[in-house]
């Protein structure tokens, strides 16, 4: 009892002398690997189930497969042991030790085996008195355990939060950070800190968390179900502005494991999880039996183009831009960026509907702030035979999205032609110092003229206003087609949103609403204080998206026009 009463005081005294944050130079892109928990849980009965119990043989087997079947070469580096690897008690000197029956060679030998395969080794611990499964926790042993892990050659530590008051985590997780720093070994630090505080109804201090952790779980554990994936996506979208501000190279928000190849997701749902985890710049940790995974799911996990999105060197997280009638648009800024400041982007069209057939969706790139007047090379990342096509910002990109499925596109800006020698200096967009972008007025309230009279059940249209010039980026949400004044079924405009201010500052677009910056969060009115990636790659993609519901079997005119926007990357 006395030790519990002294914990807050001890933590404060510890932090008073150790105020520096995590300083290890690792995880500059989201970590990738394999993790045992979701698939194998805490199966410790190696007599009845020797092939699937938590043992050194399980991890060696997975390492062998990763090294020989393309996973390592695709970027999956870590083999991570989770809970239930320990003996029931520490040794006489207070050191951790593995279960001698299931890990007879010891953890140091297991780490060396995995290193010899060209992989990295991760291990699990808990910040409280006991792990979630009841094995020895780290509390009162932080320094000693960190030294042990460094001596064993551990490359990553996942520190869980069971059996610890979440109110103490603001003190104790940074204390563990300092223990890792003092080892001198670059160890990736994975925290569960905010997830437990969210469960308690607390508001996590994400700036402090990002100062102490390389990655952090921010929501419930994933389970092998589509409902679990959707709940994580919805929670992420509800806090995305906060997470985007603090995430980046060396510091990643973690939505939990990939469950692709198990039992709970269909093929299309598996493609959706992979695509959306890449958009979120999430750590990619598979939790699947690599010995028995079916080829079509393995192909998803090894998709090099989607992995490249996840591992993009800019390290910018994406966001959900808009959702209407079960259709969502997500996007993320990527490299390369042109000299004029136009970024590339990954775009996901996500159909959350689980009934009916495929839905046809038409996208215009200006609707998500991609306004390079020279156009973009665009291709489908799930089509291995796709050939990039050049698309201007206001041209239509048609797609068909299956229920519970996605279409994932990559758009790379076409560079501006080299200026002629006689061209006066400073005539590039934005005067050579960025791209000057203004919100288009677009005509009278209710929208500029588009394609009027869209019939009921018109296809989903995502795009900018007709007649607007490149660089303006207005867009609307119209339900069931409709142009100015609407057609049968009504042309309903959903307003409020954002537009890019001159010089790339993101502010409220016509129709009101706050500007949103990928790094800085809500901004002010037009030309507000938040910045936009239109003018500067360090900030956010442009304006907004428009979307309208559709019957999949009908090909009807695409509604365009308007000057109100919804959302923005």
DSSP secondary-structure letter at 540?
B
Residue 189 reports pLDDT greater than 80 = yes
- Cβ distance 544 to 558 under 8 Å? no
Confidence at residue 463, expressed as pLDDT on a 0 to 100 scale: 56
Catalytic residues: 160, 221
Q: What is the per-residue pLDDT across 247-290, written as a single tens digit (0 to 9) for each?
A: 999 999 999 999 999 999 999 999 999 999 999 999 999 999 99
**33: which 2 tokens?**
């690997």
**What pLDDT, on a 0 to 100 scale, did the predictor assign at position 425?**
57
For residue 420, what pLDDT is reported? 74
Specify burial of residue 215 (Cβ count, 10 A radius: 0-12, 13-18, 19+): buried
Range from 3-7, 52-56, 453-457 that averages highest in pLDDT: 52-56
Residue 161 pLDDT greater than 90, yes or no: yes
- pLDDT tier at 508 (50, 70, 90 boundaries)? very low
Beta strands in 309-371 (DSSP E): 319-324, 327-337, 343-351, 359-363
Task: Tell me how far apart the alpha carbons of residues 236 and 232 are, in angstroms, rounded to a whole number.
Answer: 6
Q: What is the band of 83 on the pLDDT scale with cuts at 50, 70, 90?
A: very high
Report the distance separating Cα 264 and Cα 359, nearest Å.
Answer: 23
- Which pLDDT score, from 0 to 100, does residue 152 have? 99
Q: Are residues 546 and 461 in contact, defined by beta-carbon separation less than 8 angstroms?
A: yes
- Which residues partner with 86 through β-bridges? 98
Q: What is the pLDDT of residue 70?
A: 99
Virtual CA dihedral for 265, 349, 478, 562, nearest 10 degrees? 160
Instruction: Determine which of 68-77, 188-197, 528-537 has the lowest per-residue pLDDT on average.
Output: 528-537
| Per-residue model confidence (pLDDT) at position 238 | 98
449 contacts 443 by C-beta, under 8 angstroms = yes
Q: How confident is the model at residue 460 (pLDDT cuts 50, 70, 90)?
A: low
Q: Report the pLDDT averaged over residues 356-368.
A: 95
Q: How confident is the model at residue 537 (pLDDT cuts 50, 70, 90)?
A: very low
What is the C-alpha separation between 199 and 165, in angstroms, rounded? Answer: 12
Could you tell me if 281 and 246 are in contact, meaning their C-beta atoms sit under 8 angstroms apart? no
- How far apart (Å, rounded) are the C-alpha atoms in residues 339 and 332? 19
Distance between CA atoms of 179 and 501, rounded to whole angstroms?
A: 46
The closest of 342, 305, 280, 336 to 518, measured between CA atoms, is 280
Predicted confidence (pLDDT) at residue 568 exceeds the cutoff of 50: no
Is 65 among the domain residues? yes
Highest mean pLDDT among 93-97, 442-446, 457-461: 93-97
In a domain, 278, yes or no: yes
Flag whether pLDDT at 531 surpasses 60.
no
- Measured CA to CA, the distance from residue 447 to residue 467 in angstroms comes to 11
Mean pLDDT of the chain: 79
Does any domain span residue 527? no
Q: What are phi and psi of 230, to 5 degrees?
A: -65, -40
Tell which residue, 549, 97, 132, 153, has the closest CA to residue 362. Answer: 549
Identify the H or E element spanning 2: helix 2-17
**According to the model, what pLDDT value does residue 419 have?**
78
Separation between Cα atoms, residue 362 and residue 345, nearest integer Å? 17
> 78 - beta bridge partners?
33, 120
Residue 4, number of CB atoms within 10 A of its CB:
11
**What is the C-alpha R_g of the chain?**
25
Residue 189 in domain:
yes
Domain span holding position 192: 34-310
The first and second tokens of residue 311, run together, are 């591992």
The length of the chain in residues reads 569
The answer to whether residue 397 is domain-embedded is no
- Joined tokens for residue 331: 């996007």
pLDDT in tens, 398-429: 999 999 999 999 999 999 998 777 655 554 44
Strand-pairing partners, residue 407, are 349
pTM: 0.79
SS3 179: helix
List the CATH number of the domain containing 158: 3.20.20.70
* Bridge partners, 406 (sequence order): 350
For 177, list phi and psi in degrees, rounded to 5. -55, -45
Q: Distance between CA 404 and CA 387 in Å, rounded?
A: 25
The pLDDT tens digits of the residues spanning 200-226 come to 999 999 999 999 999 999 999 999 999
Q: Is 91 exposed, middle or buried (0-12, 13-18, 19+ CB in 10 A)?
A: exposed
Total count of domains within the chain: 1
HSE at residue 264, side-chain half, CA atoms within 13 A, is 17
Residues with Cβ within 8 Å of 449's Cβ and at least 6 positions away in sequence, in order, are 443, 466, 467, 483, 484, 561
Average pLDDT, integer, range 426-442: 34
C-alpha distance from residue 336 to each of 313, 348, 375, 428 (Å): 9, 18, 14, 19
How many Å apart are CA 543 and CA 558, to the nearest integer? Answer: 20
Q: Would 46 be classed as within a structural domain?
A: yes
215-217 vs 252-254, strand pairing mode: parallel
Residue 49, pLDDT above cutoff 90: yes
- Asked whether the beta carbons of 123 and 157 are under 8 A apart, the reply is yes
| Helix/strand/coil percentages in the chain, nearest 5 | 25, 20, 55
Q: What is the 3-state secondary structure (H, E, C) of 25-67?
A: CCCCCCCEEEECHHHHCCCCCCCCCCCCCCCHHHHHHHHHHHH
pLDDT in tens, 297-353: 999 999 999 999 999 999 999 999 989 889 999 999 999 999 999 999 999 999 999
Residue 423: what pLDDT? 56
Q: How far apart are CA 553 and CA 397, in angstroms?
A: 18
Query: Residue 383's CB: how many other CB atoms inside 10 A?
Result: 12
**Does residue 388 register a pLDDT over 90?**
yes
Angle at 42 between CA 130 and CA 83, to 5 degrees: 45
Alpha carbons within 13 A on the beta-carbon side of 465: 30
Q: Report yes or no on 422 lying in a domain.
A: no
Evaluate whether residue 251 is within a structural domain.
Answer: yes
Q: Which of 33-37, 95-99, 418-422, 450-454 has the lowest mean pLDDT?
A: 450-454
Sign of CA dihedral 389, 393, 399, 402: positive
Over residues 48-77, the mean pLDDT reads 99
Dmax over Cα atoms in the chain, in whole Å?
81
- CA nearest to 539, candidates 502, 568, 505, 497: 505
pLDDT at 418: 84
pLDDT on residue 21: 74
């Amino acid at each position: 009892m006395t030790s519990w009463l002294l914990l807050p005081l001890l933590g404060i005294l510890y932090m008073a002398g150790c105020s520096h944050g995590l300083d290890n130079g690792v995880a500059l892109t989201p970590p990738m690997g394999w993790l045992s928990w979701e698939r194998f849980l805490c199966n410790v009965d190696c007599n009845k189930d020797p092939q699937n119990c938590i043992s050194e043989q399980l991890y060696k087997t997975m390492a062998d497969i990763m090294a020989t079947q393309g996973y390592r070469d695709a970027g999956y580096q870590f083999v991570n042991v989770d809970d239930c690897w320990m003996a029931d008690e520490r040794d006489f000197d207070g050191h951790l030790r593995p279960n001698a029956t299931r890990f007879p060679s010891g953890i140091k030998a297991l780490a060396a085996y995995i290193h010899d395969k060209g992989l990295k080794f991760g291990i699990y611990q808990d910040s409280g008195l006991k792990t979630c499964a009841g094995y020895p926790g780290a509390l009162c042993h932080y320094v000693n355990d960190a030294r042990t892990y460094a001596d064993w050659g551990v490359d990553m530590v996942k520190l869980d939060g069971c059996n610890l008051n979440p109110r103490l985590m603001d003190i104790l997780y940074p204390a563990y950070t300092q223990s890792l720093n003092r080892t001198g070994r670059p160890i990736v630090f994975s925290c569960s800190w905010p997830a437990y505080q969210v469960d308690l109804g607390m508001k996590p201090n994400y700036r402090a968390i990002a100062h102490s952790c390389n990655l952090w779980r921010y929501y419930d554990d994933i389970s092998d179900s589509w409902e679990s994936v959707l709940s994580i996506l919805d929670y992420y979208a509800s806090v995305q502005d906060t997470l985007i501000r603090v995430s980046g190279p060396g510091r990643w928000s973690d939505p939990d494991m990939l469950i692709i190849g198990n039992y709970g997701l269909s093929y299309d749902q598996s493609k959706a999880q992979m695509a959306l985890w890449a958009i979120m710049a999430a750590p990619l940790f598979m939790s699947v039996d690599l010995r028995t995974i079916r080829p079509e799911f393995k192909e998803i996990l090894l998709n090099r183009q989607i992995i490249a999105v996840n591992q993009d060197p800019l390290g910018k997280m994406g966001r959900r831009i808009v959702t209407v009638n079960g259709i969502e648009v997500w996007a993320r800024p990527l490299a390369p960026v042109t000299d004029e400041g136009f970024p590339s982007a990954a775009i996901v069209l996500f159909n959350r509907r689980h009934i009916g057939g495929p839905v046809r969706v038409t996208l215009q790139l200006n609707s998500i702030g991609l306004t390079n007047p020279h156009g973009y090379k665009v291709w489908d990342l799930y089509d291995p035979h796709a050939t990039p096509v050049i698309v201007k910002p206001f041209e239509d990109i048609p797609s068909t999205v299956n229920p519970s499925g996605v279409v994932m596109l990559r758009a790379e800006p076409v560079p501006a032609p080299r200026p002629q020698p006689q061209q006066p200096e400073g005539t590039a967009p934005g005067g050579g110092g960025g791209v000057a972008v203004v919100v288009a007025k677009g005509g009278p309230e209710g929208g500029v003229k588009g394609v009027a009279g869209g019939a009921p059940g018109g296809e989903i249209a995502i795009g900018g206003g007709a007649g607007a010039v490149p660089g303006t980026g207005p867009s609307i949400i119209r339900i069931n087609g409709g142009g100015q004044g609407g057609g049968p079924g009504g042309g309903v405009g959903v307003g409020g949103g954002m537009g890019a201010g001159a010089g790339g500052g993101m502010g409220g677009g016509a129709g009101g609403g706050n500007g949103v910056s990928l790094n800085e969060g809500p901004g002010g009115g037009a030309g507000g204080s938040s910045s936009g990636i239109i003018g500067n790659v360090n900030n956010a993609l442009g304006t907004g998206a428009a979307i309208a519901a559709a019957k999949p079997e009908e090909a009807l005119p695409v509604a365009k026009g308007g000057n109100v926007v919804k959302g923005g990357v």
